[in-house]
Amino acid sequence: MFRKVLIANRGEIALRIINACRELGIRTVAVYAEPDRNSLHVRFADEAICIGPARPADSYLSVPAVISAAEISNVDAIHPGYGLLSENANFAEVCRASNIKFIGPPPEITRLMGEKEKARQAMKEAKVPILPGSDGVLASIQDALETAELVGYPVILKAKAGGGGRGMRIVRAAEELPNLYHAANTEAANAFGNGELYMEKFIEDPRHIEFQVLADEHGNVVSLFERECSIQRRHQKVIEEAPSLMVTPAMRDEIGRTLVRCLKKIGYQNAGTVEFLMDAKGHLYFIEMNTRIQVEHPVTEAITGVDLVKAQLRIAAGEKLADILPKKLELRGHSIECRINAEHPDKFTPSAGKIVAFNVPGGKGVRVDTAQYAEGMVPPYYDSLIAKLIVHGDDRAEAIAKMERALSQFVVEGIDTSIPLHQQILKDPDFREGKFDTGFMDRFLAKRNAPED
């Protein structure tokens, strides 16, 4: 096992990784930007190194700053968490060249999955269901028009180098296509330095369902079932749960087996998430793969009992899945996560400043992942996520009841938070009945903000 690991992240995920290392007997090195000097990840790591000023490009996103800290502290490995450098293949390559283990897949795999159209073709070859669309990138507007005729409108143009909703255009008719192609092409070229586009059949208001996988460095792969993340606003997830109400045991098994076969073939390593869209008929289609630990990983931990961050560390240290996981993975109960953001619950404006009161709920089946505390500061420079509230019940109804109880006991004073928003969503009849898709938040906010009576 590693002797010492550097955590190239901040906030709740940095603390989450420190906790896993501590329990495995691994020493930890935190890195931090100046505004984070009083953060808990700095306090609870064995060592902490300031790597620069507030601006992420000059601190948490700076490859030289992070690598220098790793060299100075003489670590064996770096855990990147999520966001920041976690899906930067160049960073993983620099780690390799510096003889530091990057805790994640090899850079070649990260690069493959970052090229969305290549990932799509790799999944297609392994019989993972994909949406009808282009074979490879589109060569021209003419090519796009011909492909769209074959696929049938509406279609969606996506950037090969994109992901997460940036640089996409929905095309509903041929006459709109040239302008939208141009717009997507220009936007992608500016945002990602690569304007190449591909096309898929557009699914109206899909559900977003993702499968968690683990792969060791000896060719073994397992599926840890799915999470449903359809409660999103502007591509930011708000509430996640596991399992999905819409995935039957037969589908879970079928997709799981197919992914295991596919990822063995690709040579995948460490933790990963395979994203699917579900159409109104309940069919699942691959859209992209994330090569990192995700924010919502705790709902999978709740229903499987597996510590995914410990698994990442043990896999990266060369252990086999058979020695890490229980003999038979079983899905138990139902888990829900609410993302608590430092933002106004109605206006969604960010809310930075000093937290004056902070009470975290507890009790059976309640977990809070946070690096915040009373008198702590929420700096204005970073992501607004300040805590994740995760519950685990015997079934979905119990999970909802637990979440409502826990939210009512979660006190954050001094800044605005999304706690009241979560309380409103949990009361919504469609949410409670599981009748939702990625259009839920827009409908919910329209109802809430302009009630008929």
Give 146's Cβ-side CA count (13 Å radius): 8
Scanning 1-9, 79-87, 199-207, 366-374 for contacts with ligand MV4 by CB under 6 A, the matching segment is 199-207
Number of residues that bind ligand MV4 (CB under 6 A): 17
* Smaller CB separation from ligand MV4, 87 or 288: 288
From residue 23 to residue 62, the character string flagging contacts with ligand MV4 as x (rule: CB under 6 A) and all else as - is ----------------------------------------
Q: Which amino acid is at 327?
A: K
Cα(111)–Cα(89) distance, integer angstroms: 6
Binding status of residue 290 toward ligand MV4 by CB under 6 A:
no
* Smallest distance, ligand MV4 to C-beta of residue 133, A: 7
Which H/E stretch holds residue 28? strand 27-33
Cα 313 from chain centroid (whole Å) = 18
Q: Which residues pair with 221 in a beta bridge?
A: 215
CA dihedral over 174, 175, 179, 180, signed as positive or negative: negative
Give residues 129-148 in contact with ligand MV4 (rule: CB under 6 A): 131
Binding status of residue 202 toward ligand MV4 by CB under 6 A:
yes
Cα 205 from chain centroid (whole Å) = 20
The SS3 call for residue 21 is helix
The SS3 call for residue 237 is strand
Two tokens at 330? 């079983």
* Smallest distance, ligand MV4 to C-beta of residue 248, A: 21
Scanning 202-210, 216-224, 341-349, 396-404 for contacts with ligand MV4 by CB under 6 A, the matching segment is 202-210
* Smaller CB separation from ligand MV4, 136 or 164: 164
Q: How many CB atoms lie within 10 A of CB 175?
A: 8
Cα(197)–Cα(137) distance, integer angstroms: 6
* Smaller CB separation from ligand MV4, 169 or 310: 169
Q: How many CB atoms lie within 10 A of CB 406?
A: 23
Among 86, 147, 232, 290, binds ligand MV4 (CB under 6 A): 232
Binding status of residue 313 toward ligand MV4 by CB under 6 A:
no
* Smaller CB separation from ligand MV4, 286 or 358: 286
End-to-end CA distance of the chain: 62
Q: Which residues pair with 278 in a beta bridge?
A: 207, 284
Q: What is the DSSP string of 10-46?
A: -HHHHHHHHHHHHHTT-EEEEEEEGGGTT-HHHHHSS
Among 12, 87, 200, 210, binds ligand MV4 (CB under 6 A): 200
Binding status of residue 165 toward ligand MV4 by CB under 6 A:
yes
* Smallest distance, ligand MV4 to C-beta of residue 371, A: 27
Binding status of residue 287 toward ligand MV4 by CB under 6 A:
yes
* Smaller CB separation from ligand MV4, 62 or 341: 341
Among 235, 405, 447, 448, binds ligand MV4 (CB under 6 A): 235
Backbone angles phi, psi at 281, to 5 degrees: -85, -5
* Smallest distance, ligand MV4 to C-beta of residue 302, A: 22
- The total number of residues written for the chain in this structure: 453
Angle between helices 440-449 and 419-427 (to 10 degrees): 100
Q: Which of 10, 169, 227, 292 is catalytic?
A: 292
- For this structure, is 292 an active site residue? yes
Single out the residue of 240, 435, 214, 439 nearest to residue 334, CA to CA: 240
* Smaller CB separation from ligand MV4, 51 or 203: 203
Binding status of residue 128 toward ligand MV4 by CB under 6 A:
no
* Smaller CB separation from ligand MV4, 287 or 419: 287
Binding status of residue 440 toward ligand MV4 by CB under 6 A:
no
Binding status of residue 206 toward ligand MV4 by CB under 6 A:
yes
Two tokens at 124? 């297609």
Q: Strands 27-33 and 47-52: what pairing?
A: parallel
Q: Which residues are catalytic?
A: 292
Residues near ligand MV4 (CB under 6 A): 131, 156, 163-165, 200-203, 206, 208, 232, 235, 277, 287-288, 438
